[in-house]
Amino acid sequence: MNHTVRFLLVDDHPLFRQGLASVIENVRRYKVTAEATTIAQALSLLESITVDVALVDISLQQENGLELVKTLKSTHPEISSIVVSMYDEIIYASSALKAGAKGYVMKQEAASSLLDAIEHVLKGKIYLSKDMRERMLDTMLLQDSREEIDPVKLLSIREMEVLRLLGQGFGVSEIAQNLNLSVKTINVYRDNIRHKLSIGDAGSLRRFAIQWVKSNER
């Protein structure tokens, strides 16, 4: 592929978008055509521009980036989506691929990993880091041997964010501040998590969250 590869960046942090653009445009044939901070803005831009690759943050301020990935797969199948995320748990990468993403890159990885992901995707391949591929394979083999369904997979991306922060020791008010949501909203998410995981009380939920974080993070 020798023609110019056009990119759409979707992230609600201007400095991070600027960094992405800098990395991408260091490659002569890559060009950042547009940037968006919300799903609606991204879809609006796509009415008047053409792009080849969309780099999408998994967690926009008030939205789930995977919803955009799903929409693009349906309405713009010619666009390859790569999810960019701060989360290295397998379940996030798995959710991204199921939504239709062609790659999953963590924000803490080197710039070279992003460029590797782009090259893989442009060749029609799926990209995951070597570590993520190995952990995902291990998890799949373990699940096959257990023949069980992980109830955490029933959670939404936002609910998993709340579960992760609970497991890292944050209180409800701290989680609300971290996610730019109200305490009331966090309590609703917490109740939803308890219901989906069949956990009786807040103390048991926190203990489960701590164990989940320990077992899923490196």
Q: What is the pLDDT of residues 1-11, one digit of tens each?
A: 568 999 999 99
- Lookup: tokens for 164: 């992760």
More confident: 104 or 146: 104
Q: With contact defined as beta carbons under 8 Å apart, do 164 and 208 qualify?
A: no
Continuous H helices in 123-182: 130-146, 157-167, 172-179
Average pLDDT, the chain: 88
User: Do 151-216 and 5-134 fall under one CATH topology?
Assistant: no
- Residue 181: pLDDT over 70: yes
- Lookup: tokens for 56: 């999408």
Q: What is the pLDDT of residues 50-75, one digit of tens each?
A: 999 999 998 887 788 999 999 999 99
- State the amino acid at position 104 in one-letter form: Y
Which option is the CATH number for 151-216: 1.10.10.410, 1.10.10.10, 3.40.50.10490, 1.10.620.20?
A: 1.10.10.10
Q: What is the pLDDT of residues 117-172, one digit of tens each?
A: 999 999 999 999 888 888 777 766 655 544 455 678 788 889 999 999 999 999 99
More confident: 113 or 144: 113
State the pLDDT at residue 63: 81
Q: Is the alpha carbon torsion for 32, 34, 35, 40 positive or negative?
A: negative
State whether CATH 3.90.1330.10 applies to domain 5-134: no
